[in-house]
Structure 1
Amino acid sequence: MSTTAQRVAHEHCQSLQDALAHFRAEGLAQVTEWGRHLAAVLPVGGRLLAAGNGGSAAQAQHLTAELVGRYRTERPAYSAIALHAETSSLTAIGNDYGYDEVFSRQVEAHGRPGDILVVLSTSGRSPNLVRAANTGRAAGLRVWAMTGPRPNPLAAEADEALAIDAPSTATVQEAHLVALHLMCESFDIAAGAEPDGALGADRAAEAAARLAGH
């Protein structure tokens, strides 16, 4: 490995280490609470919608896969849709209404009051995600944004935002993945996921009661 490559690799690792240290201090409680909130919504019939562009689209789809499939332990499947993966809807909406509407129209179609919308953007400035967040809030969804540094329009539009304080797109995305995994871990714990896939009756009842209170 060349000296330049070693230096760049070291700087990349240091940037990620710094971002995760800041996230651990400032954002850990937030993502674990998000997981607990999901456990109050999904097991009683709610839905999670997720969207992003480019690498953030992959992150959003990673999240929905963990919920429909499983994160670590066996548990029931839960409703989660990655809006950018709906290719026919995406291209039809983009063609007929413009790319800025590709997510907002799907949120309008699929979202119901009490559902969760997760939008991911390293810049926090993607117009299609800002519009989706606006549509989601107007429809009664809870909107969570995962972005790069504040201030940015997406963080401002969301109900809550996790803003990763890092200078590079790659580092922001890497920290987002850690946050998504921790959210799924918190969700599984709160939803009562057991190694044999059973959902504890007491936990399910608690989740239903929490949802009724929102």
Structure 2
Amino acid sequence: MLDILKDSISVKDISIKNNLDKIIDASQRIAKCITSNHKVLLFGNGGSAADSQHLAAEFVNRFKIERPPLAAIALTTDTSILTSIGNDYSFDDVFSKQILAIGNKDDIAIGISTSGNSKNVVKAIYAAKEKGLYTIGFTGKGGEIAKCADIVFTVDSTVTARIQETHITLGHIFCDLVDRILFPSSF
């Protein structure tokens, strides 16, 4: 059991150290996006869908401090939209069609996929880039997302649980840094 805990800590530690400059860059971009009256769109499947919702909630409600709501939307929550697109077109289109509908130039799209190859996440990142959104990808070893997102956060693990734990840790770090950038007097 101790080995699982040590592995979890090690994977997160390595990912943070290997991506420190990118973490700061992405956090600054998210803060600028929000202060420019733009929004963050998050999406993924399964546990990554839950992470999308979790992080959107942290931005919209609050993370650690009392502050105004920040514009973020999880594209994983509207069952009517998701099932309509999935039924009439393809599950591969459930996020890209939403990006085409509500994404605007200079918004930020965050796609989360443990494999880096989820077709609907990859397709949404390409759609976001076509519309002028800045794209951030969270993956395991990389996959197709590593080839198409503007900034990619890879996790050097093949264990889905370790990848997902690291993704939510990185997401929490973004939330914390964005709050510190936008509301420095609260810290």
For residue 92 of structure 1, the aligned residue among 84, 89, 98 is 84
Provide the C-alpha distance between the structure 2 equivalents of 1:120 and 1:10, rounded to a whole number of angstroms. Answer: 28
- The residue number in structure 1 matching 2:170 is 179
- The residue number in structure 2 matching 1:101 is 93
Greater C-alpha radius of gyration: 1
Farther-moved stretch of structure 1 (65-74 vs 38-47): 38-47
Q: Matched residue of 2:38: which SS?
A: coil
Provide the C-alpha distance between the structure 2 equivalents of 1:194 and 1:44, rounded to a whole number of angstroms. Answer: 20
Change (3 A) 1:71 1:193: farther
Provide the C-alpha distance between the structure 2 equivalents of 1:160 and 1:24, rounded to a whole number of angstroms. Answer: 14
For residue 126 of structure 2, the aligned residue among 130, 134, 137 is 134
- The residue number in structure 2 matching 1:209 is none
- The residue number in structure 1 matching 2:151 is 160
1:175-214 correspondence to structure 2 within 5 Å? 175-192=166-183, 194-195=185-186
Cα deviation for residue 10 of structure 1 reads 2.4
- The residue number in structure 2 matching 1:21 is 13
- The residue number in structure 1 matching 2:40 is 48
Instruction: Report if aligned partners of 2:26, 2:151 keep a CA contact under 8 Å in 1.
Output: no
Provide the C-alpha distance between the structure 1 equivalents of 2:115 and 2:53, rounded to a whole number of angstroms. Answer: 18
Across the two proteins, how many residue pairs are aligned to each other? 187
- The residue number in structure 2 matching 1:116 is 108
Q: Matched residue of 1:23: which SS?
A: helix
For residue 71 of structure 2, the aligned residue among 70, 73, 79 is 79
Cα deviation for residue 28 of structure 1 reads 2.4
Cα deviation for residue 177 of structure 1 reads 1.0
When normalised by structure 2's length, the TM-score is: 0.95
Stretches of structure 1 that go unaligned for 5 or more consecutive residues are: 1-8, 197-214
Provide the C-alpha distance between the structure 2 equivalents of 1:181 and 1:193, rounded to a whole number of angstroms. Answer: 17
Cα deviation for residue 194 of structure 1 reads 4.4
Provide the C-alpha distance between the structure 2 equivalents of 1:13 and 1:55, rounded to a whole number of angstroms. Answer: 20
When normalised by structure 1's length, the TM-score is: 0.84
Cα deviation for residue 34 of structure 1 reads 1.3
Provide the C-alpha distance between the structure 1 equivalents of 2:185 and 2:75, rounded to a whole number of angstroms. Answer: 29
Instruction: Report if aligned partners of 2:16, 2:170 keep a CA contact under 8 Å in 1.
Output: no
Does 1 or 2 have the higher relative contact order (CA < 8 Å, sep 6+)? 1
Q: Matched residue of 2:88: which SS?
A: helix
Stretches of structure 2 that go unaligned for 5 or more consecutive residues are: none
For residue 64 of structure 1, the aligned residue among 56, 71, 75 is 56
